[in-house]
Amino acid sequence: MSSIIDSLPPSLGKIVQRFQRATDQKRRYEQLIWYGTKLKEFPEAGKVAENKVSGCVSQVFVIATLDDGKVSFQGDSDSQLTKGLVGLLAEGLNGLTPDEITALTPDFIQETGLNVSLTPSRANGFLNIFKMMQKKAWECGNEIIST
């Protein structure tokens, strides 16, 4: 196991390992689509400007809630693959604290091998979704402090 995987939260580390075992691009895409199917239904009321991920070709929305100090994400996209990216990140980041999420670096993305499989615009979208989730987690953490 690489040191990057060792440094990841367990849920994210398992996802990275799953993608590392996928030996071809088709299998990685199938896994991404599967992660998209695991997302809960996204509320229409959440499809507002402050939840929209900028810099994505697809329409992508992300919301975060805090329960017992742990962040929970919901997301949606009009593209199956992009929805899979949201699902992958939600699966890997759900249940972490805001500090754990904001401390992560996007290096794990290269470890999945997805950066090779995705088009440059989708890889950039993945990074933008990740940054949006970090921002939402940070906002959840600041709500604790301000209340």
> Could you give the residue numbers annotated as active site?
56
To 5 degrees, how large is the angle CA 58–CA 100–CA 137? 45
Q: What is the C-alpha R_g of the chain?
A: 14
Nearest CA to 109 out of 138, 95, 130, 136 is that of 130
* Whether the Cβ atoms of residue 115 and residue 123 lie closer than 8 Å to each other: yes
129's tokens: 């979704």
* Whether the Cβ atoms of residue 57 and residue 67 lie closer than 8 Å to each other: no
